[in-house]
Amino acid sequence: MPELSRAEVAHVAMLARIQLTDDELDKLAGQLDQIVGFVATVGEIAADDIPPMSHPLPLVNVTRPDVVRPSLSSGDALAGAPDAQAGRFAVPRILDEE
């Protein structure tokens, strides 16, 4: 069972798009290692022939009729936006400067 190092926690935090301070990293690394040690015990009881259960209900591809219906106005959709310009979401740059 792998031990979760501080560097691995930093890497996973980067993948999850969470910037952590050094103090947060120190604290989380210790706690997560303990938690991972505990949750890894699931490997001890479930044999290969047990099928995984992905969902508690026996439902398959439930869909609604594909019909146009009223939805949010652009004003409503933009009402909670941190920034908007000319009726559109304004976002930070998404391309590198180089």
Query: Which stretches of the chain bind another protein, using CB under 8 A?
Result: 4, 8-9, 12-21, 24, 27-28, 31-32, 34-36, 38-43, 45-47, 50-57, 59, 62-64, 72, 76-77, 79-83, 89, 91-94, 96-97
CB neighbour burial string for 4-34, b if at least 16 within 10 angstroms, e if fewer? beeeebeeebeeeeeebeeeeeeebbeeebe
CB of 85 to another protein, least distance (A): 13
CB of 75 to another protein, least distance (A): 9
